């Protein structure tokens, strides 16, 4: 990780994106990096759209706001429409295809994965889609050491849900590396047995 990384997590209120940004920031702190986390507090944060950002750098972080996102996560169509115009080629864009249907621009590096659907079908819990998304992001970017990140996910999860959240995080890695078809097929086989 060379330069300042600016990560934008966007979606609908209730998808757990603010918590995800705090977990990502805590993981980066545990990985000895400098971090600033901010979130939108406006009327849009009360129902409707949710936006939070994390800046990670080895250097000290002065300006705390995102100017050029290097990673963008879109968990619903409205946020995809809104934030896609703010990124430049080179930014890693991850969309949740459960809710986002494009249009996808060829000049941009967009990875579309069924994040929420996988959480629902394989873990039977839609609420951990946020940690699954973090797994996907970290698999794609290597922002934070994977083991440290896993530990932080456990520590920051609500009491009693640490393991489930870790499972979701690991599943995010697999979703990124193996693709959704493979995961769904494997899950179907285990349920048949």
What is the binding site for another protein (CB under 8 A)?
22, 25-26, 28-29, 32-39, 41-43, 45, 61-65, 67
Which residue lies nearer to another protein by CB, 32 or 101? Answer: 32
Q: For residues 4 and 57, is the Cβ–Cβ distance under 8 A? A: yes
Instruction: For another protein, give the closer residue by CB, 124 or 159.
Output: 159
* Neighbouring residues of 140: CB distance < 8 A, sequence distance ≥ 6: 71, 92, 94, 111, 176
CB of 17 to another protein, least distance (A): 14
The continuous run of DSSP H or E covering 49 comes out as: strand 49-57
Minimum CB distance to another protein smaller for 115 or for 143: 143
Nearer to another protein by Cβ, of 1 and 184: the residue is 1
Nearer to another protein, 32 or 81 (CB): 32
**CB of 57 closer than 8 Å to CB of 5:** yes
**What is the C-alpha radius of gyration for the chain, rounded to an integer number of angstroms?**
16
The token duo for 34 is: 């400098």
Minimum distance from residue 167 beta carbon to another protein (Å): 23
For the bound state, the minimum distance from the C-beta of residue 42 to another protein, rounded and expressed in Å, comes to 5
Number of Cβ atoms within 10 Å of the Cβ of 77: 16
CB of 168 to another protein, least distance (A): 21
Is the Cβ of residue 54 or residue 115 nearer to another protein in the bound state?
A: 54
**Contact (Cβ atoms closer than 8 angstroms) between residue 131 and residue 168:** yes
Phi, psi at 133, each rounded to 5°: -60, -40
Instruction: Say if residues 131 and 153 touch (Cβ distance below 8 Å).
Output: yes
């Amino acid at each position: 990780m060379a330069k300042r990384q600016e990560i934008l997590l966007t979606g609908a209120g209730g998808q757990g994106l603010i918590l995800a940004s705090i977990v990502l920031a805590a993981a980066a702190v545990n990985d000895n990096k400098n971090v600033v986390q901010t979130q939108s507090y406006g009327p849009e944060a009360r129902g409707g759209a949710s936006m939070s950002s994390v800046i990670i750098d080895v250097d000290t972080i002065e300006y705390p706001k995102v100017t050029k996102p290097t990673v963008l996560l879109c968990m619903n169509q409205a946020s995809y429409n809104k934030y896609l115009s703010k990124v430049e080629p080179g930014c890693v864009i991850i969309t949740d295809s459960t809710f986002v249907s494009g249009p996808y621009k060829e000049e941009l590096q967009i990875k579309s994965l069924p994040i929420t659907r996988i959480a629902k079908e394989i873990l039977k819990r839609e609420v951990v889609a946020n940690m699954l998304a973090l797994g996907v992001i970290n698999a794609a970017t290597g922002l934070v050491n994977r083991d440290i990140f896993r530990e932080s996910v456990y520590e920051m999860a609500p009491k009693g849900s640490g393991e489930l959240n870790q499972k979701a995080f690991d599943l995010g890695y697999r979703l990124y590396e193996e693709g959704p078809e493979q995961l769904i097929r494997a899950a179907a086989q285990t349920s048949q047995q």
